[in-house]
Structure 1
Amino acid sequence: MGLVDLTRRSLVGALGALAAGPRVLFASVAAHARDHLLEAEWLATAGVEGGFAPVVVAPDFAATPVGSGAQRLHWVEPSPDGRTAIAVARRPGTCAVLFDRRAGAVLATFEPGEGRVFSGHGRFIDGGARFLAVEIARADGRGVVTRRVVEAGFAVEAEWASAGIGPHDMLPAAGALVVANGGIEPHTPEALGAEVAGASIALLDPVSGAVRSVAELSEDLASLSLRHLTSGGDGFTVAAAQDLLADGVARPLLYAVEGEGLRAFDAPDEAWRGLRTYVGSVALDASGAYVAAASPRGNRVALWRRDGRYIGSLPLVDGCGLAPTREAGQFLATSGLGETVLLATDGEGVGVVARRSGGPRYDNHAVLVG
């Protein structure tokens, strides 16, 4: 296995484990010739032998890692070009990996701005010509959205404040750029003893980065960190939360983003408690009618109708990755134990359609390729 030899123009970036850690290039499996192109239905990231890697998931759930690096990769964003994708390391990561999802080859890596780390998420815009990345200043947690030009080696052409601290996820929806400013991240040293996360959902102008609005939760929900987002073709957007407090209070962990406000989804108290304060991934189905939320701490995946009415849940140990399929009412779910499960709902109940074990240790997210 060799290292990809890339020019600066094609974005040779270092895979620094942390700012003070050693710099390690991202190893590629491309040195082993492939006699066929990979058939990618979904993309994910996973822990693989010796490190972490993007993963190409076939229609039959077979998983093929692409390369290997020392940093934990989080979200994968497929490019509209139909061939490449970018996997982004999560906080405190300092690497984003560009790879060819069909050839199974790492092409390049790039890094956040000086003194900043990636939060694990990014999105292609302008038909794949530009890439938006969420970055966090190490010194004070201030959030920054950078806009990078793909053909210019992912050079930053603009950057804007995220209008909050600790941003995690971000996506374009309904003519705005929606940013989930998580505030204090639960289950971190900074969260010890904290009761107010300082989270918000900011709507930014997608061209200038100007702040259009900032929505915050009410005082009784101030312990929630708003972290993950999903959006449908009509702009309907849902934010998922994690709770700083484990006090037994059944706080809603899903919210529809409606204008400048947030509407809580409904569920019985025992359903919220069953998620054990933590939603690690959220997804809309292909029709936009159903929402799924996964909790690796609660070992389950729960489903709702779009209007916020609760449908039910299924167990999945350490399950977190979620993505739609091409069928209405269906979701792919992945787990840290290497399971891949196909779930389906008719709006009244939820069941398992198919299951495969023996895969890699999947991370928090999966995405359907377009």
Structure 2
Amino acid sequence: MAKSSRRSFLAGLVAASAWPLPSWADLGSPAFLSAGRAPSGQDMVAGLDLQGNRLFQQVLPGRGHAFCAHPRLPHVIAFARRPGRFAHVLDCRTGKTLAQLQPPDGYHFYGHGCFSTDGTRLFTTENDYENARGVIGVWSVQDTYQRIGSFSSGGIGPHDMAGLPDGSFVVANGGIETHPDTGRSKLNLATMQSNLSYLSEEGVLQDQITLSNDFRLNSIRHLAIAPDGTVAFAMQWQGDIGLDLPLAGLHKFGTPVRLLAEDDIRWREMKGYGGSIAFDHGGTHLAITSPRGNRLLVLDTASGSIQVEHVLSDVCGVAPQAQGWCATSGTGQILTIGAAQATLLKQTQFQWDNHLVAL
């Protein structure tokens, strides 16, 4: 979509109504989104305020994984857990499902996506499993989220993706080949190679980063972006568990990759699994979770060292707030994470799922 047509689209939205466009303020300006399972057994998406109160919740057709929120409109894209094929577009004011997205035959979603900077397009990570290649699907917000194209993700197994300050985006290609016929089995561990791929909104590959052969089995999975465009990535080790292997790294376009706290034995407690990752608002510290290891680590981005280790049962979701982070767990806890301590904010009856998304 050309820039002129994007401007026309946004102008058309305004002209179509005598009232201002709806926004997140109409819902009380929720701070976070998370998937969870209610006590009834229903899978839900919920909007939370800074105190952990639910401002809204909507039923999902199955277990959710992650979400992306439109930059202005109160629309949430709720993605199925891999290898799911649903992505629902929800109007969080009314609970209405605006669109039900399905990838083409032979594809499935990977659970993540992001909007273009101007909000006119949605991008989704997908698996073309018959051809063992990663794909980014492109959907038009203007046309009720119709699919308008796709392009290569730059690797196999694109999981997370995130927008960058310059309007391009980065994709975490986890490198693991899967096929729905074999569930979540990993089919190419002998040759797998994950990467970070930097792409324009038109799908042009601008840069690509791979890890050294010693870390080839570290699957790059989840991403966070600092204010200056630095990319943090969380990894999941596909080899023998019990090694002191780093599960987090940093990269900035045009510079070498940095793996963090490479010799720290506390990585062993993470059980090889980086669940979610988030910068603080200043980009000076980084939080990474492991529900398998019941750990949340806080790292200093300048030194790369682990500053704090929190032992928290089944913790996975983490997102920045004004001071430190908010975190969620499968045991129903919502916590605030500071420089030195974790404080229980609210105990709920929800089983919070993998990711907490800041709005």
Matched with 1:298 is 293
**Alignment pair present for 1:150 and 2:141:** yes
Q: 1:205 to 1:295 in 2, by over 3 A?
A: same
- TM-superposed deviation, 1:280: 0.8
2:223–2:232 Cα contact (<8 Å) kept: yes
Deviation at 1:192, TM superposition (A): 7.7
Q: 1:180 to 1:105 in 2, by over 3 A?
A: same
Equivalent position of 1:180 in the other structure:
172
Instruction: Name the structure 1 match of 2:127.
Output: 136
Contact 2:246–2:261, Cα closer than 8 Å, also in 1: yes
Q: Are residue 265 (structure 1) and residue 260 (structure 2) matched?
A: yes
Query: CA 1:75–1:189 in structure 2 vs 1: closer, same or farther (change >3 Å)?
Result: closer
Kindly state the Cα deviation for residue 239 of structure 1 after the two structures are TM-superposed. Answer: 1.0
Instruction: Classify the secondary structure of the residue corresponding to 1:292.
Output: strand
Taking the aligned partners of 1:107 and 1:53, their CA distance within structure 2 comes to: 16
Q: Once the 2 structures are TM-superposed, how far is the Cα of residue 103 of structure 1 from its aligned partner? A: 4.3
Deviation at 1:38, TM superposition (A): 5.5
Provide closer, same or farther for how the CA distance between residues 65 and 268 of structure 1 changes in structure 2, counting only shifts above 3 A.
Answer: farther
Evaluate the alpha carbon distance shift between residue 39 and residue 204 of structure 1 in structure 2; reply closer, same or farther with a 3 A threshold. Answer: closer
Unaligned residue ranges in structure 1 (runs of 5+): 1-35
CA contact (8 A) 2:30 2:55 kept: no
Matched with 1:361 is: 351
Alpha-carbon distance in structure 1 between the residues aligned to 2:212 and 2:145? 39
Structure 2: gaps spanning 5 or more residues = 1-25
**SS in structure 2 of the partner of residue 272 of structure 1:** helix
State whether structure 2 residue 62 is matched by structure 1 residue 71.
Answer: yes
Report the CA distance shift for 1:154/1:190 in structure 2 as closer, same or farther (over 3 A): same
Q: Counterparts of 1:87-166 in structure 2 under 5 Å?
A: 87-166=78-157
Does residue 55 (structure 1) correspond to residue 46 (structure 2)? The answer is yes
Where in structure 2 are the equivalents of 1:1-370 lying within 5 Å? 37=27, 40-48=30-38, 49-63=40-54, 66-175=57-166, 176-184=168-176, 189-191=184-186, 194=189, 196-206=191-201, 208-259=202-253, 261-266=256-261, 268-307=263-302, 308-325=304-321, 327-328=322-323, 330-345=324-339, 350-369=340-359
**Deviation, structure 1 residue 363:** 0.9
Separation in structure 1 between the aligned mates of residue 177 and residue 238 of structure 2, nearest angstrom:
8
C-alpha displacement of 1:92: 0.7
1:337 counterpart letter in structure 2: T
Amino-acid identity (%): 30
Aligned counterparts of 2:190 and 2:217: Cα–Cα separation in 1? 5
How big is the alpha-carbon RMSD for the aligned residues of Structure 1 and Structure 2?
Answer: 2.3
SS in 2 for 1:241: strand
CA distance in 2, matches of 1:301, 1:257: 21
- In the alignment, the residues of structure 1 paired with residue 356 and residue 243 of structure 2 have an alpha-carbon distance, to the nearest angstrom, of 30
3-state secondary structure, aligned to 2:142: helix
For the 8 Å contact 2:56–2:92, the answer to whether it is kept is no
CA distance in 2 between partners of 1:131 and 1:69 (Å): 19
- 1:165, 1:92 → 2: CA distance? 14
Q: Any idea what SS the aligned residue of 1:67 has? A: strand
2-side partners of 1:301 and 1:144: how far apart? Answer: 31
Give the CA deviation at 1:197: 3.3
- Which letter maps to 1:277? G
Number of aligned pairs? 327
